[in-house]
Amino acid sequence: MNEIFLLKLGEIVLKGSNKRQFENRLRQNVRRRLKPYGEFDVYIMQSTVYVKPMDENADVEGAWEACRSIFGIVNCCRCKPCEKDLDSIFDAVVEYLGEDLECAKSFKVESKRSDKAFPMTSIQISQDIGGRLAERYPDCAVDVHKPEYTVFVEVRDLAAYVHGPAVPGAGGLPTGVGGRAMCLLSGGIDSPVAAYMMAKRGMEIECVHFFSYPYTSELAKNKVLELARLVTKYCGRMTVNIVSFTEIQEAIRDNCPEEFFTLIMRRFMMEISQRVGKDDGCGALITGENLGQVASQTMEAMTVTGAVVDVPIFMPLVGMDKEEIISIARKIGTLETSILPYEDCCTVFTPRHPKTKPSLGQVLRAERKLNREELIEKAVASVEKILVQYHDEPLI
C-alpha cells in the first residue's frame, strides 16, 4: 500500500520574507534525519512537508518515529494518496481506514480543499464521503459533534490524501535557524532539558562537560555522553567537549576560601565554555540553572558566575519548578539516565556552608591566588571532542 507522510508546519507559517529560509532548513533536517531509514523524497508545498518512501526496503516505521521528533513540525499524518475524484477518495478511505471505522462506534468526515479548482467545497466533500461511509459501515453512527473517529480528506495540488487523526509533532523551530550555542551538560536532570528546550527554539547545540578524574568515574562520563545521545533524537547530531577539570578544582581547594568553592568553579566553567564555544562558532551559552534551586543559583550568585563571559547566557529553566523539569525530562527520555548514581564534578569539594549572596568583589578577592589564565589555557588544550548521534550504541 502506497503511503505518504504529511508533516504540518508550526510557527514557520507566520514568517514573512524569510519563510523560505526556515523551510529550506527544515527540509534539510528532515532529509538528514531520515537517511538511516532508507530513501525518501522530501519536499514542501502549501506549508506542509511531504515525505514519500522511494525504496521498498525503507524502514517506514522508523522514519515515522523520527519525523515526530523533528523540530519545526506541529503535527504528523500518515496518509494514503489518491486521485482527486470522489470515487477514488471513497475507495482510499475504505482501503486505508476501513478497519478503524469497523471498530468505531461513531465517525465524521472532515475535509479541506486546498486546490480551489476542485469543483466541490469542503462541506460537499464531507457530505458525499460521509454518506457513502454511513451506508458502508451501518454499525458506525454519524456524529459530527463528538465522534469517536474522524476521517480526514485533504484535496491538495498534486493529489487527494485521506488519513485518520494526526499525532503531535515536536513543535518549535527547525534546528539551526536560531544560531549555535554551547550547553554546559552535567549528569543531572536539568541540563539535558535545557539543551532540548533551546534546540526547540531553533538552536544548534554543542555541549561541554567537565570531567574530574579520579574524583569522578568513567561511568559518570559515559552517563553524560548517553544523555547527549538521547537529546540528539530531537536536535540532531552534536559534539560533546570533555574538559579535564581536576587540576582547576584542586587549585580552588588549595587556594580559595571554602564558602566560595562552587562559585569560583562555576566561573571557570563559564569562561572555558565560552572559549571552546567561540572557537566552534557558538554565540551563546546554555545552562540548566533554576532560580533558588541550590546555593549557586541565587540571583547574586548567577550574576557573579556570569560576569566572566561576554556572550548571552540562556537559562530556559530559570522560572520552572522541579516537577515541571522532571516532567519534560521524562517526556524526552532523559530522566532515567539522569538519576543514575554516577556523580559529576559539581559534587567534588562541595562547601559545607556555601556563600549564597556574594558580591563580585568578594569573589575576585577569593580567587586572587589562582593563576586563572594558565589554568584555563591548560583546560582548553585538554578538550576531547566526541561526536554523538542518536543511532550510536547506548553507553549506559
At the top level of CATH, the class of 1-82 is: alpha beta
Closest by CA position to 157, among listed 211, 115, 219, 218: 115
pLDDT, residue 343, reads 74
The CATH label, of 3.90.550.10, 3.40.50.620, 3.90.79.10, 3.30.2130.30, for the domain at 84-158 is 3.30.2130.30
pLDDT at 128: 97
Q: Which residues contact 122 (CB under 8 A, 6 or more apart)?
A: 111, 112, 113
CA angle, corner 268, sides to 287 and 276, nearest 5?
70
Which part of the chain is CATH 3.40.50.620?
Answer: 180-388
pLDDT at 56: 86
* pLDDT given for residue 395 in this prediction: 83
Contact 137, 102 (CB under 8 A): yes
Q: In the chain, where does the domain assigned CATH 3.30.2130.30 lie?
A: 84-158
pLDDT for 364 equals 96
pLDDT of residue 274: 98
Where does 180-388 sit in CATH, by number? 3.40.50.620
Residue ranges in the chain whose pLDDT is less than 50: none
Q: How many helices (H) and strands (E) does the chain have?
A: 13, 15
Q: Which residue spans of the chain are classified as CATH 3.30.70.1510?
A: 1-82
User: Among residues 94, 8, 105, 96, which one has the least CA distance to residue 49?
Assistant: 8
Q: Taking the model in full, what pTM does it have?
A: 0.92
pLDDT of residue 1: 55
